[in-house]
């Protein structure tokens, strides 16, 4: 059976959190591709056709932070929907930035919070 739900790229260098987010979203009918390395996610994004419906990225990662990843993705696809997730920074991290996510979720979060914000971001314009 081919899954037909929206495709979400999950980017987090913390394997357990990546697996948890993937499991929650897949139970809600989404398809996920998981990346521990933001550079690998960027490479996959570059060649993706079609592009994912949503990119969900952690902020604090070793190779590149979520804001940098978001900036590079938006250069390729300005309308890409992006959800920024973080346990280390608050929403004010991007207030001064010209690149803003479509949603922000603080860690730790509940499964239902994740499902709700993903649904909200996907519904936006």
CA distances (Å), 102 to each of 40, 56, 78, 113, in order? 22, 10, 12, 15
Q: Could you tell me the domains of the chain?
A: 7-123 (3.40.50.2300)
Phi and psi at 113, nearest 5°, equal -60, -45
In the structure, what pLDDT confidence band is assigned to residue 3 with cuts at 50, 70 and 90? low
| pLDDT tens string 8-40 | 999 999 999 999 999 999 999 999 999 999 999
Q: Is the pLDDT of residue 61 over 60?
A: yes
In the structure, what pLDDT confidence band is assigned to residue 1 with cuts at 50, 70 and 90? very low
Q: Is the pLDDT of residue 2 over 80?
A: no
Assessment of whether the complete model's pTM goes beyond 0.85: yes
């Amino acid at each position: 059976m081919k899954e037909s739900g929206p495709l979400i790229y999950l980017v987090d260098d913390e394997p357990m959190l990546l697996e948890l987010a993937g499991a929650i979203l897949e139970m809600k009918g989404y398809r996920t591709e998981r990346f521990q390395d933001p550079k690998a996610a960027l490479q996959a994004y570059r060649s993706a056709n079609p592009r994912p419906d949503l990119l969900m990225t952690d902020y604090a990662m070793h190779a590149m932070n979520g804001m940098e990843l978001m900036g590079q993705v938006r250069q390729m696809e300005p309308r890409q929907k992006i959800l920024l997730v973080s346990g280390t920074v608050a929403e004010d991290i991007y207030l001064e930035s010209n690149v803003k996510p479509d949603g922000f979720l603080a860690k730790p979060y509940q499964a239902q919070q994740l499902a709700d914000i993903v649904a909200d971001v996907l519904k936006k314009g």
